[in-house]
Amino acid sequence: GPLRVLVFGAALRADSTNVRLAALVAQLVSDTGATVDLAAMRDFDMPLYDGDMEVTKGLPQGALALRDRLEQSDAFVISSPEYNASVPGVLKNAIDWVSRVRPQPFKTKHALLVSASPSLIGGNRGLWTLRIPLEHLGTRVYPDMFSLADSYQAFAEDGTLADPGLQQRLTDTVSAFLSLVEADVRYVCLERR
Ligand code: FNR
């Protein structure tokens, strides 16, 4: 069947530019014929990680729901802001909770990282730090990343990027990422025969 790709906007606020970038990436993924599951941090309510809570109550519903959505996908895309040159606490907290599940759902999955920020660097420093927990968990993080600078001004009315060069670069990044995932998923299927 077609590739299944979870596209995750990793910010809580309603008008988040990362949620908007996730929606745009979801459209580009869907244009390639893949099946998209668009998600946002707001869909997964979870408390701060607490080892006592884990022992007494198990994982919170929000973490289990995110685990399910990851498990049902061949690959995922995260669109995350950068907070203080690093991963926002809410995203790290979600990764920490989900990493406690067995089988651990980040393992061997392909991921593309994108970011949006009103700054000139577009949140790219945050993505480098996001690679650390994901690669630790065995995710195959795609070498190329896409960071959208000046994000409050970058979107056109229709949700695409106002700069056609940037829109093309994002389209190319998504399509190159999906070609790699497709080749790998097909290879794994052949190997299993
Ligand atoms: C920020 N912001 C920010 N931006 C950036 O480019 N580099 C940074 O290091 C930081 N640091 C930072 C820390 C904290 C605590 C906050 C709240 C914000 C600004 C951030 O990019 C901005 O709030 C974006 O709009 C967040 O993305 P969304 O909400 O539009 O998706």
Ligand 1, atom 9: nearest CA belongs to which residue? 84
pLDDT in tens, 75-87: 999 999 999 999 9
pTM for this entry = 0.97
Give the residue numbers spanning the domain of 164.
4-192
Best residue among 17, 18, 83 to mutate for probing ligand 1's pocket (most ligand atoms within 8 Å of CB) is 83
Assign residue 156 the CATH number of its domain. 3.40.50.360
- Measured CA to CA, the distance from residue 106 to residue 76 in angstroms comes to 9
Q: Quote ipTM for the complex.
A: 0.98
Best residue among 41, 117, 147, 152 to mutate for probing ligand 1's pocket (most ligand atoms within 8 Å of CB) is 117
Q: What is the 188 CA–ligand 1 centroid distance (Å)?
A: 39
pLDDT in tens, 111-156: 999 999 999 999 999 999 999 999 999 999 999 999 999 999 999 9
Where does the pLDDT of residue 186 fall: very low under 50, low under 70, confident under 90, or very high at 90 and above? confident
Q: What is the 125 CA–ligand 1 centroid distance (Å)?
A: 11
**How many domains does the chain divide into?**
1
Burial class (CB in 10 A: 0-12, 13-18, 19+), 27: middle
> How many whole angstroms from its chain centre is CA 69?
12
Determine if ligand 1 sits within 6 Å of the CB of residue 85.
Answer: yes
Note whether 142 and 177 are within 8 A (CB).
Answer: yes
